[in-house]
Amino acid sequence: MATGQIRKALSGFYYVQDGEQLIQTRGRGVFRKRGITPLVGDFVEYEVEGNNDGTLTKIAERKNELVRPPIANIDQAILVFSVVEPDFNTILLDRFLVVLESFHIQPLICLTKMDLLPAEKREDMARYIADYEGISYTVIETFKDDASILGKLTPLLAGKTSVLAGQSGVGKSTLLNTLMPQLNLKTGVISDALGRGKHTTRHVELIEVAGGLIADTPGFSSFDFDTIEKEELTYCFPDLARLSENCKFRGCLHVKEPKCAVKAALEAGDLQQYRYDHYLQFLQEITDRKPRY
């Protein structure tokens, strides 16, 4: 049985990379009956019919999958956040980080428009960068026409399947155009009325870049916590997770429990107040979530 990876999905066809060959395939009818949809990034088995046509027969177990963009088996997400226009937003960044952690996708933080940061905000920004690097996240700083960005990102892309994520208008399309000039994605200024940028894509494709694969779409712009239970939330905050090992009670939610190591670290100044505040807000969102039936 021939095997490969789906690199592109378009108009009901799935294009499977098998060595040097790109095979056009369709899914088996049984997939539809079972509610299975092949995704870009899937590792598959297929049967060849004719010169370059095939049928998918089996989809290997996925380590993760996203709905928008519809893609599977992602290793890392490059979180693109501007420091101005729109302003740097820690609660939105933490929301993205938490959901990525829940999917076991490694986040990489890329800060754009550093050249536009006013002098009076540089100290605060430097503190935020130090905070996230202290949590063990990689932070890359860049700006428009940054000639060094390829050199910064190339070693981080090798051997990995990556997607881009971030708020609209922060420079995701610009970054993709830098990594993959052949895309020539349209980039636009932020809409003054809506406060967000615009981008439309018709399909998802994984393209080989710098020894790795990267999705050719700026992807998603928001996340929710539908798949995270409140008992799991701590482990989506690596800084809280490390501290929680010393909590007296197993399953401590770090709210009202006695002898909580997270709250002790907060009082001692060893945990950033905004990270704890975001944890409490997300915990409340999950608690208030309507049950699924």
Distance CA 235, CA 241 (A): 5
Q: Is 236 annotated as a binding residue?
A: no
Q: Is 112 annotated as a binding residue?
A: yes
What is the predicted pLDDT for the residue at 177? 76
What is the predicted pLDDT for the residue at 32? 79
Q: Is 171 annotated as a binding residue?
A: yes
The model's pLDDT over 95-112, given as tens digits with 9 standing for 90+, comes to 999 999 999 999 999 999
Q: Is 188 annotated as a binding residue?
A: no
Q: Is 110 annotated as a binding residue?
A: no
State the pTM of this model.
Answer: 0.86
Distance CA 14, CA 219 (A): 19
Q: Is 189 annotated as a binding residue?
A: no
Q: Is 174 annotated as a binding residue?
A: yes
Q: Is 24 annotated as a binding residue?
A: no
CB within 8 Å of 146: residues ≥ 6 apart: none
What is the predicted pLDDT for the residue at 8? 94
Q: Is 170 annotated as a binding residue?
A: yes
Q: Is 212 annotated as a binding residue?
A: no
What is the predicted pLDDT for the residue at 189? 37
Q: Is 115 annotated as a binding residue?
A: yes
Q: Is 113 annotated as a binding residue?
A: yes
Inter-residue contact 41 to 25 (CB < 8 Å): no
Q: In this prediction, what percent of the chain has a pLDDT beyond 90?
A: 62
What is the predicted pLDDT for the residue at 218? 66
Amino acid (one-letter) located at 166: G
pLDDT, averaged per 10 consecutive residues of the chain (293 residues), comes to 93 92 88 87 90 87 88 94 92 94 94 94 97 96 86 91 82 77 54 37 78 80 81 97 95 95 97 98 92 63
Q: Is 197 annotated as a binding residue?
A: no
What is the predicted pLDDT for the residue at 192? 35
